[in-house]
Amino acid sequence: MTSPADVPAPGPEPLGVDDAVASLVGLRARTGRRVVVGLAGEPGSGKSTTATLLVDVLVAAGTPAVVVPMDGFHLAGATLARLGRLDRKGAIDTFDGTGWLALLRRIRRVELGETVWAPDYVRGLEEAVAGSIEVAPDVEVVVVEGNYLLVDDEPWRSARAELDLVWWVEVPQPERLRRLVARHVRHGMADEAALAWATGPDERSAALVRATRPRADGVLAG
């Protein structure tokens, strides 16, 4: 029997990668300024892979571009332990949303001619590492990706206002779960623990994220 989570909510029509790239290049040409586009979606939907694909195509076509993941704003493991949140890492309150907003505002201020250094999240280490991603002044398109880009609470609402577009990355639910479990196993979890985490803390986060899908400007296959 199909569960409600297996049926995509009504919303924007699907968009192909080539169309997405053309849209970004066109927006850059019309505005003459840096374009910042977000990729939102549930955990395991393929946001990181899709973001990298978009940037690779843009760069190959001569448009300087870079990926900046929201995962770089995970709170440190020691901080989560102190706050009693380590057992639900990945939930919305385990991120520094205000720091994320501040970074997006810095990325927007191209007129300053400064390089912005963004943090990245290192799988295996399971920690964010500051100063990992270079957003040089000549970068024309920044693709940001994360679970909570479309959440309608502060500071996420203000962060959304810094993005030109947000596209939803979607994959069938069974495949999303398979990817999540495989990711956790790849980074050290036993099979049973990985499944428990994917259907526990990850699924609770996914339910919150899933409700934001109608706010997206388009849908991409993950």
Three-class SS state of 218: strand
Write the CB contacts of 118 (distance below 8 Å, at least 6 apart in sequence). 68, 72, 103, 107, 132, 133, 135
Residue type, 17: V
Query: Is the pLDDT score of 8 beyond 50?
Result: no
For the chain, domains (ranges, CATH) are 13-216 (3.40.50.300)
What are the residues facing 141 on neighbouring strands? Answer: 35, 65
The rounded Cα 165 to chain-centroid distance in angstroms is 13
Query: Is the pLDDT score of 76 beyond 90?
Result: yes
Mean pLDDT across the chain: 91
Whether the full predicted model's pTM is greater than 0.85, yes or no, is yes
Query: Is the pLDDT score of 2 beyond 70?
Result: no
Confidence class of residue 13 from pLDDT cuts 50, 70 and 90?
low
What are the residues facing 169 on neighbouring strands? Answer: 220
Query: Is the pLDDT score of 196 beyond 60?
Result: yes
pLDDT of residue 63: 96
Q: What is the mean pLDDT of residues 160-175?
A: 95
Confidence class of residue 7 from pLDDT cuts 50, 70 and 90?
very low
**65 and 141 Cβ atoms separated by less than 8 Å:** yes
Q: What is the pLDDT of residues 16-67, one digit of tens each?
A: 889 999 999 999 999 999 999 999 999 999 999 999 999 999 999 999 999 9
